[in-house]
Structure 1
Amino acid sequence: MSLKAFAAKIFAKYIHYKNQKWINSPVETQQKVFKALIEGAKNTQFGKDHNFEKIESFSDFAKRVPVRDYEELKPYIERVVKGEENILWPEKPAYFAKTSGTTSGAKYIPITKDSMPHHIEAARNAILNYIYETGNADFVDGKMIFLQGSPVLDEKNGIKLGRLSGIVAHYVPGYLQKNRLPSWETNKIEDWETKVDAIVEETLPENMTVISGIPSWVQMYFERIQQKTSKKVGDVFKNFNLFIYGGVNFEPYRAKFEALIGRKVDSIELFPASEGFFAYQDSQREKGMLLLLNSGIFYEFIKADDFNSEAAKRLTIKEVELHVNYVMIISTNAGLWSYNVGDTIQFTSLKPYRVIVSGRIKHFISAFGEHVIAKEVEQSMREAIQAFGASINEFTVAPQINPENNELPYHEWFIEFEEKPSDMEGFAKKIDETLQQQNSYYFDLIQGKVLQQLKITSLDSGAFTNFMKSKGKLGGQNKIQRLANDRKIADALEEFIKR
């Protein structure tokens, strides 16, 4: 064992025991975070507008501060973007994480000098936690690749802005700089396909031990390696044993990844966003990711089924239940207040608090009252893949409300297969039955002959890559929307249907 690996183990043990204090006192930890946030922002414009000086409890806060999404918080954010100070949080933000908005163009998410360290610590601690649990530390001696956006930052009214992954690239600790790939110059390449080819050239001669990124884009990287070398990725990188990912559910990709790599590797799931780093996988044995309760974020939860009701109750961490679909609401030391991130989560454990991402509150299918969510379609796909030995590159689901020939309506699954199942009809039936088992509303609609069994539409190889390219969203942190309650994506995919 190298000195670096030995030191990593010692540091991992220290961080593990340090974290136990807040892990074992979750309610008290969140209360401290809440008080610090209110005290920190009471003299800001937002704090004055919402009488923070009179807030003594969460009940007071909930009465004064409504739940908002980006559009509703935008009047305050626009003042920050113009360069005004002390609007949402003291002084100006250190950065804006610029993301693509769905309704208003670009979104500018503030990152402050108080919030930035938590993004870095969470990513670091996820790896250290893995070292502590498994004892595996030799990978720190090899090269690590992080597929991310360009680190080149723009500036707006004295505040630097760019993609979150590009901002974070400026904070890679010194002890990892020599291990880190791709090079700065390669990372600056904007065109994703050109960038992936450059990354392949840089990494092929290296001892790659850790690879990180959104699964769909890492898959493209792996495929390019296989095309260039005619070898499995695991044979090219013999010491590659850890994959770190976030942004989407990995399960639909797992079989494809194992085929590309040629073996199984350990993985760590992360739950990062421009608004905050919320959770990371803290166990290779237990399901879910550890919710980070001491990272300058105060959490609220609203049951997804009640979210659009005026009587919807806002819950704190001590009030949540297992396996309920919640919309996650955050208040942060970056100046987001009762902010709807858009993600839905479910708790898989309450000691400690672990979560899975179940979908997006706006991404569901309920054209007939079924309210099918991403977690359910991903689980159904995973079980069908396991049962029939198929392999897929990507998929999305949409309702077909007005089928031809007086057929019953159905859910249409657009799938780009790497390897088709031998029995496509059985594959579709397996997905449908698994979905019925998970969702009682969908079960009732199928059994009541309101809907017919789902139908699969096969897409050409490379369909989703070409679709994303056509939208100018190839690579980076962009990802395919797994399901929608309309047919905008479905209609755009028509030209990629396998004939």
Structure 2
Amino acid sequence: MEVINTFMTWIFKNRIGQIEKFKNNPLEIQHEILFKLIHTARSTEFGKKHHFRQISSYKDFNQWVPVHDYESMMPYIQQTMQGQQNVIWPSPINWFSKSSGTTSSRSKFIPVSPESLEECHFKGGKDMLSLYVTNYPNTKLFTGKSLTIGGSLQTNHLDYNKNSSYGDISAVIMRNLPKWAQLARTPSLDVALMSEWEEKINKMANETLKENVTSLTGVPTWTLVLIKKVMEKTKCDNILEIWPNLEVFFHGAVAFGPYRNLFQKLIPSLEMHYMETYNASEGFFGIQDQIDSDELLLMLDYGIFYEFIPMEDLESENPTVIPLDEVETGINYAMLISTNAGLWRYKIGDTVKFTSTLPYRLKISGRTKHFINAFGEELIVENAEQAIENTCKITGADISNFTAAPVYFGENQEQGTHEWIIEFIQFPRDKDTFVQVLDEELRKVNSDYDAKRYRDMVLKLPIVHFASEGIFETWLRSKGKLGGQNKVPRLSNSRDYVDEVSKLL
């Protein structure tokens, strides 16, 4: 295994020269990508409609191609899902990544082309390893296996297109990995892609008990669930008793800060490393490339062209859109992408702040709307408001305001939950029923929340505080924000608002 480890380390280090090239020539690389995308898609339905053959400059692109969100891209995506090809991208698109929904639909389906798999998602995974072995040249990573904790794959094809399938992006990637990569990971593909999470976690634990696991890859929430299941089965005090050569956790999707102490207790080693990635259904965007920094290097040669909208301008009728060369550090931007899967000037919903422009490094600063995504549930305000409205109708209640935040895993907290403070004009007929119905309605409108609530494995039933009228007015007054355009933040990943208001209960 030492020989294999040495060889694989050498292979992955060879990519560093190409990474240095786009770090040193970012604008040239992005210009090449934009016009490669336009040239490739010029004969698609979308390309014809938006004059791709006449586009000869970024100014033309900005003028003729409108900014899109999921709702405006959805007609093109639906055509593709129904089996029509050459709509948004010339290559056949038979895979779709399912992610959390929007106001108009419970789930989004993001196209995944052969190019986006190979040149973006797979390339991102390889670069993650390249940067890791460069930062830790004495690694023994390839002497063992990577334990990958992915999502589930829809095994039945789309009803209206038998050639198309969908699932979480991690599952789509895993299903399409080359054979050499499949041999380097655990558990078996059949187990890794299971949709029944309780059985899946149990089988994953059983399959990986005797493996030499050297790395973990996944979302912090489900990774913690699996580690605890393995420790439960083996009665061990920490996971290094089972996987003594474990050296790195590649993580993403949710903020890692709240989980760091828990991981350090379960993996008590100063030699354990944590490396963040920025990978989404729409593409692989960033990788932590420095040991002592949580900044992410923006990956510029993955077939994605980046643009940005300053957040203060996002809601204007004609927002200012700028290319990469005009961004400044410290400013909150909404990110737009045009991709080799046929997304064009697409608002992914994330906000970022650049920390450096040579090279381009950034931090994920949040979402374009208030949200909770502490456990991968991606609960947005529209979901919460719809669920609250339905719950009030069912339970005979009437509310005036609410705010909610996560309760993170902790010493005596095996699962997470959401804590709500709701101000009632008319209290429900039964408070326990209200909580149950609220939970049910949230599960109906948000598939990711529903998955995390499955058998209380990640999220427990919400905690609801039933407040009388006036509490939020008192809180806003105390902050000097009463009246005008000041509003109660509906959802937040931070507990600041909930903790402050709860003092007034």
TM class by shorter-chain length?
Answer: 0.7 to 0.9
Of residues 446, 451, 459 in structure 2, which corresponds to 1:473? 451
Q: Could you tell me which residue of structure 1 aligns to residue 129 of structure 2?
A: 127
| Residue 295, structure 1, aligned to residue 299, structure 2 | no
* 1:143 and 1:207 in contact (8 A); partners too: yes
Summarize the alignment of residues 360-375 of structure 1 with structure 2, pairs less than 5 Å apart: 360-363=367-370
Residue of structure 2 in register with 1:115 after alignment: 116
Q: CA 1:285/1:416 → structure 2, altered by over 3 Å: closer, same or farther?
A: closer
Task: Determine the C-alpha separation between the residues in 2 that align with 1:395 and 1:310.
Answer: 26
Deviations 1:258-300 (A, max 9, x none): 1122234201211111111111112213331111111110000
**Residues 219, 13 of structure 1: alpha-carbon distance in 2 compared, 3 angstrom cutoff:** same
2:160 maps to 1:160: no
Evaluate the alpha carbon distance shift between residue 185 and residue 160 of structure 1 in structure 2; reply closer, same or farther with a 3 A threshold: closer
The answer to whether structure 1 residue 313 and structure 2 residue 317 are counterparts is no
Aligned pairs, how many? 412
Equivalents in 2 of 1:470, 1:159: separation in Å? 21
Cα deviation for residue 57 of structure 1 reads 1.4
The answer to whether the 8 A contact 1:152-1:162 is kept is yes
- CA distance in 1 between partners of 2:379 and 2:166 (Å): 32
The reply on whether 1:4 has 2:11 as its aligned counterpart is no
Of residues 405, 419, 439, the one that matches 2:411 is 419
The percent of aligned pairs where both chains have the same amino acid is 34
Structure 2 residue identity aligned to 1:144: S
Partner of 1:233: 239
| Offset at residue 413 of structure 1 (A) | 4.9
Give 2:13's aligned residue.
13
CA separation of 1:363 and 1:13: change in aligned 2, threshold 3 A: same
The alignment partner of 1:123 has SS state of: helix
Check conservation: 1:213, 1:244, Cα contact below 8 A: yes
In structure 2, the residue matched to 1:29 is: 29
Task: Provide, for residues 69-98 of structure 1, a one-character-per-residue CA deviation record: whole Å limited to 9, x for no partner.
Answer: 111111111211221121111143141122
Q: Could you say if the C-alpha distance between residues 487 and 305 of structure 1 is closer, same or farther in structure 2, counting changes exceeding 3 Å? A: closer
Q: Offset at 1:488?
A: 11
- Code of the aligned partner of 1:102: T
Indicate if the aligned counterparts of 1:217 and 1:475 stay in contact, CA closer than 8 A: no
C-alpha distance 395-280 of structure 1, shift in aligned 2 (>3 A): closer
CA deviation digits over 1:144-194, x for unaligned, max 9? 110012356443322232221121113334334333111123224321122
Question: How far does residue 199 in structure 1 lie from its aligned partner after superposition?
Answer: 1.1
> Is the 1:246–1:270 contact (alpha carbons within 8 Å) kept by the matching residues of 2?
yes
**Cross-structure match for 1:261:** 267
Structure 1 residue 342: deviation in Å?
Answer: 0.5
- Which runs of structure 2 are paired with 1:210-221 in the superposition (5 Å)? 210-221=215-226
Q: Tell me how far apart the structure 2 counterparts of residues 2 and 308 of structure 1 sit (CA, whole Å).
A: 56
CA distance in structure 1 between the partners assigned to 2:25 and 2:458 by the alignment: 36
User: What letter corresponds to residue 119 of structure 1 in structure 2?
Assistant: H
Match for residue 249 of structure 2 among 239, 243, 268? 243
- The answer for the alignment partner of 2:483 in structure 1 is none
**What is the rounded CA distance, in whole Å, between the counterparts of 2:142 and 2:362 in structure 1?**
28
Q: Provide the C-alpha distance between the structure 2 equivalents of 1:78 and 1:150, rounded to a whole number of angstroms.
A: 21
Q: Separation in 2 of the partners of 1:151 and 1:470?
A: 14
Q: Within 2, Cα distance between the matches of 1:415 and 1:122?
A: 32
Map 1:325-364; keep pairs closer than 5 Å. Answer: 325-363=332-370
Structure 2 alignment gaps of length 5 or more: 385-400, 414-438, 463-487
The offset of 1:487, in angstroms, is 6.4
Quote the residue 1:88 is aligned against. 88
AA matched with 2:43: N
Match of 2:211 in 1: 206
Alignment match, 1:461: none
User: 1:154 and 1:470 mapped to 2: Cα distance?
Assistant: 19
In the alignment, what sits opposite 1:66?
66
Cα shift readout 1:317-352 (whole Å, capped 9, x = no counterpart) = 111111211100000111100100001111122121
Contact persistence 1:328–1:343 (CA under 8 A) = yes
Q: Aligned partners of 2:448, 2:83: CA distance in 1, in Å?
A: 35
Instruction: Measure the CA separation in 2 of the matches of 1:319 and 1:109.
Output: 28
RMSD value, Cα: 3.5
- AA at the equivalent of 2:360: Y
Note if contact 2:97-2:169 (Cα within 8 Å) is conserved in structure 1.
yes
Paired amino acid for 1:473: A
1:90-146 residue CA offsets vs partner (Å, 9 max, x unmatched): 143141122231321232211112221021011111112110121033121112110
Quick one: distance in 2 between partners of 1:488 and 1:267? 25
Partner of 1:137: 139
Moved more, 104-113 or 138-147: 104-113
Q: What is residue 77 of structure 1 aligned with on the other side?
A: 77
Distance in 2 between residues matched to 1:79 and 1:342, nearest whole Å: 23
Distance 1:393 1:322 in 2: 28
Query: Which secondary structure does the structure 2 equivalent of 1:68 belong to?
Result: coil
Structure 1 pair 23–359 and aligned structure 2 pair: CA distance change class (3 A) = same
Asked if residue 146 in structure 1 is aligned to residue 148 in structure 2, the reply is yes
- Partner secondary structure for residue 335 of structure 2: strand
Distance, in Å, in 2 between the alignment partners of 1:155 and 1:83 is: 12
Deviations 1:231-262, CA, capped at 9 Å, x for gaps = 21123211111001110111111011111222
TM-score by length of 2: 0.74
Identify the range of structure 1 (93-102 vs 7-16) with the bigger mean alpha-carbon deviation. 93-102
For residues 34 and 397 of structure 1, do their structure 2 counterparts lie closer, same or farther at Cα, with a shift above 3 Å needed? closer
The 8 Å contact of residues 144 and 213 in structure 2, kept in 1 or not, is answered as: yes
1: distance between equivalents of 2:289 and 2:449? Answer: 36
Q: Partners in 2 of 1:327 and 1:135 — Cα distance?
A: 36
Contact 1:83 1:92 in 2 (8 A): no
**Contact between 1:330 and 1:338, CA under 8 Å: does it hold in 2?**
yes
Amino acid at match of 2:56: E
Change (3 A) 1:4 1:336: same
Rate the CA distance shift 1:325–1:420 in 2: closer, same or farther, 3 A. Answer: farther
Contact 1:152–1:166 (CA under 8 A) maintained in structure 2: no
- Give 1:396 deviation, angstroms: 10
Letter in 2 for 1:349: S
Contact 2:99 2:448 in 1 (8 A): no
- In structure 1, what is the equivalent of residue 258 of structure 2? 252
Structure 2 Cα separation of the partners of residues 397 and 52 of structure 1: 35
